[in-house]
Structure 1
Amino acid sequence: MIKILIVDDEPNILLSLEFLFKKEGYHVFIARDGEEALDIIAENLPELIILDIMMPNVDGYEVAKHLREKHKGIKIIFLTAKSKQQDIQKGLDLGADLYLVKPFSTKELVAKVKTLLN
């Protein structure tokens, strides 16, 4: 079963995305900040991470940097409110496979995840 890690400090987003991707048949892990995400990655290496940027403790940029140094094969989707061109460029420079801005379409997100994983 394909594993997805969803990292966001917004409880509503975590719950809705967890439900959505479980319904699609994925094994879903959730983390409320970057620190928790790094712990989960160490124990349960996911195939894909949906990652917010602005979070307490360790932000999404740091998580992405760590992933690209240690686990190059993991797909990264930034899902964030940071919509400035410089933020998008930084995310892509850190190795993100996709950068989506909130608010977002869940239908589009599911389609993009399926594309990235196939």
Structure 2
Amino acid sequence: MRRALTIAASVAMMLAAGEPVMVQAQTLQVQQIKPKFQPKVQPRIQNPNRPPNNMVLIKPSQALIIAQRLVPNSKGINVQLLPGGNYAVTLKRKNEVRRLIIDGETGEPR
């Protein structure tokens, strides 16, 4: 209330003095600050040996079953997904250890 009276009194004095009325308006000035240093962002390049995300792979258990069919009476030791989308299956039969590569898409041995 007091502020409004003060503003009205100052406007009345300016009009009486013959000066143009200047309305005080609070204006927000938006300053865009440009960064001085812009880091160069490198695009991510997909590893060519890595399978695309939309590729449907067989399950590791399926790769193990396929490999055990190729080497009868064997026991599965390890199944590992390789970067190219294939599976490396390690099998043991008696005193012999074999490693087979199974295609991750089709399930065919390589």
Larger helix proportion, structure 1 or 2? 1
